[in-house]
Amino acid sequence: MKYLLALIGLVMCCNADVLAQSDRPNIVIILCDDLGYADVGFNGAKDIVTPQLDRLAAAGTVFTSAYVAHPFCGPSRMGLMSGRYPHAFGAPFNLPNAGLGIESYNRQGIDQSETLISTVLQDAGYATAAIGKWHMGIEKPFHPNHRGFDDFYGFLGGGHKYFPADYQGVYERQTRSGKPSINDYVSPLQRNGEDVKETEYMTDALSREAARFVKQASASERPFFLYLAYNAPHSPLEAKDEDLALFENITDVKRRTYAAMVYAVDRGVGKLVDTLTETNAIDNTLIVFFSDNGGKLGLGADNGPLREGKGSTFEGGYRVPMFFHWPDNVPSGVRFDHPVTALDFYPTFAGLAHAKIPDGKQLDGKDIWQNVVAGSNPRAGETIFAMRHRDGFSDVGIRHDQWKACRAYNAPWKLFDLASDIGETRDLSAKYPDMLRQMVAEAERWSHEQPTPKWFDNLKAENKWKTSGMPHFDQTFRVQGD
Ligand code: CA
């Protein structure tokens, strides 16, 4: 009997080892910040060149209807990490930059009751790293090292300057001069809570750190999870001369700088892929590339053919460029047109990792893996929401099969058929009033589950919320004619 138990133990042990080495992929998220839908070669960019991204996209699956949880940074990232709409835990606004006089909000962050996907993977034995922009809270309970990441390199705020000469020492000098609160964009970079002296252009530094982590992690038997969150091409528009030189044909200086910033990301992705290849990790690594929201119009981005951009509940605000790459596992050379959302990543990654999702954890997305492999629709007849609160009213986007309902800028609800009108130009609300009412009613039911925001990104937004009796969803979800 003793020998039998030992044998069973040996078999179980070996199975666990096999699982660790081959059955569970490494997972790499490469997130861009404010990257436009049309600003990568694989989505049709002509003036911006992204050879490394295009090569991966061509060998993988490109998602043409990929949504994020919110049309701007912080809430989108909190949705990704928590697997829930950010509204559900009071986070539909960005955490404010430091220096705006709302310090109590600077001390907030992604809700402590939410177990993040990083923690789920860490608990399942993954080595985990967050590199780049965080924007989910700067205080200790919200710091990446306390939210499932073994390794953190980057900055905690919502944006940053790119050249070390422009921020190195600035924070210290201003603090010494007695300035009470310093803009996040000049804060020192940090490694696991300790300030560091960086010497490279930001995008190159983050790529270097990603490669460093992959080298370290792939030397162990454990699978790894890398969250590489470039702040490029988010403002400030700052590019290296060598990258700018490649785009002299672009006459608009903002577009030229933006193009050079995207190219630096592409170069970094190439470096990361080289490292994954050298370490023999590439064949067992799922790479997911996307943007946290649409490109910002007026700052060099192009979301064509989608309407509007960052911040909007039209498609350009929160439908983003995206691909999956994993040799022999993700279909190669395929375009996937069914709607998916970044909220799906949490359950999908947990499934691939054979990781346990905590009992009672609320999730708004679903495990889409089998659908991705089969090319089938993961949510026929189901709905994806976006809701952005503005000063005294709310914008809402509702995606349901090929239909899109949108209410923006306090104007009446509109209905579009995205299958024939991806640019949301022909309002069909008068032609299909019942479809519109049904979609709006579903969004209204969803909205009433959402609590009051825990913070606001500026004082004006907070005052307006209070003085105008927000959220007054009765007005938001009233369909014209009713
Ligand atoms: Ca963003």
- Return the CATH number of 383-476, one of 3.10.300.10, 3.30.1120.10, 3.40.50.720, 3.40.50.300: 3.30.1120.10
Please tell me the distance from the alpha carbon of residue 279 to that of residue 318, in angstroms, as a whole number: 35
- Please tell me the predicted confidence (pLDDT) of residue 318: 98
Q: Ligand 1 centroid to 414 CA: how many Å?
A: 26
Q: The tokens of 149 are what? A: 């990441």
Domain extent listing, the chain: 23-374, 383-476
Q: Ligand 1 centroid to 45 CA: how many Å?
A: 20
| Complete DSSP assignment for 217-270 | HHTSSS-EEEEEE--TTSSS----HHHHGGGTT--SHHHHHHHHHHHHHHHHHH
Q: Ligand 1 centroid to 355 CA: how many Å?
A: 29
Positions marked catalytic: 73, 135
- Please tell me the predicted confidence (pLDDT) of residue 4: 46
23-374: which CATH architecture?
Answer: 3-Layer(aba) Sandwich (3.40)
Residue-level pLDDT, tens digit, the chain, 482 residues? 444 444 444 444 434 443 444 589 999 999 999 999 999 999 999 999 999 999 999 999 999 999 999 999 999 999 999 999 999 999 999 999 887 778 889 899 999 999 999 999 999 999 999 999 999 999 999 999 999 999 999 999 999 999 999 999 888 888 787 776 678 899 999 999 999 999 999 999 999 999 999 999 999 999 999 999 999 999 999 999 999 999 999 999 999 999 999 999 999 999 999 999 999 999 999 999 999 999 999 999 999 999 999 999 999 999 999 999 999 999 999 999 999 999 999 999 999 999 999 999 999 999 999 999 999 999 999 999 999 999 899 999 999 999 999 999 999 999 999 999 999 999 999 999 999 999 999 999 999 999 999 999 988 889 999 999 999 999 999 998 88
Q: Are strands 26-32 and 224-229 parallel, antiparallel or unpaired?
A: parallel
- Please tell me the predicted confidence (pLDDT) of residue 3: 46
Cα–Cα–Cα angle for 448, 451, 455, nearest 5°? 140
Q: Ligand 1 centroid to 317 CA: how many Å?
A: 10
Q: Ligand 1 centroid to 97 CA: how many Å?
A: 14
Q: The tokens of 44 are what? A: 């049709």
| Complete DSSP assignment for 16-52 | HHHIIIIIS-EEEEEEESS--TTSSGGGT-SSS--HH
Enumerate residues with CB within 5 Å of ligand 1 (an ion).
33-34, 73, 292-293
Inter-residue contact 188 to 195 (CB < 8 Å): yes
- Please tell me the predicted confidence (pLDDT) of residue 1: 43
Helix axes 73-82, 345-352, angle to 10 degrees: 40
Q: The tokens of 302 are what? A: 């192009």
Q: Find the length of the chain.
A: 482
Q: Ligand 1 centroid to 23 CA: how many Å?
A: 33
Please tell me the distance from the alpha carbon of residue 455 to that of residue 102, in angstroms, as a whole number: 9
Q: Ligand 1 centroid to 335 CA: how many Å?
A: 24
Q: Ligand 1 centroid to 482 CA: how many Å?
A: 36
Q: Cβ atoms within 10 A of the Cβ of 146, count?
A: 16
- Please tell me the predicted confidence (pLDDT) of residue 22: 59
- Please tell me the predicted confidence (pLDDT) of residue 99: 74
Please tell me the distance from the alpha carbon of residue 481 to that of residue 328, in angstroms, as a whole number: 53
Q: Ligand 1 centroid to 291 CA: how many Å?
A: 7
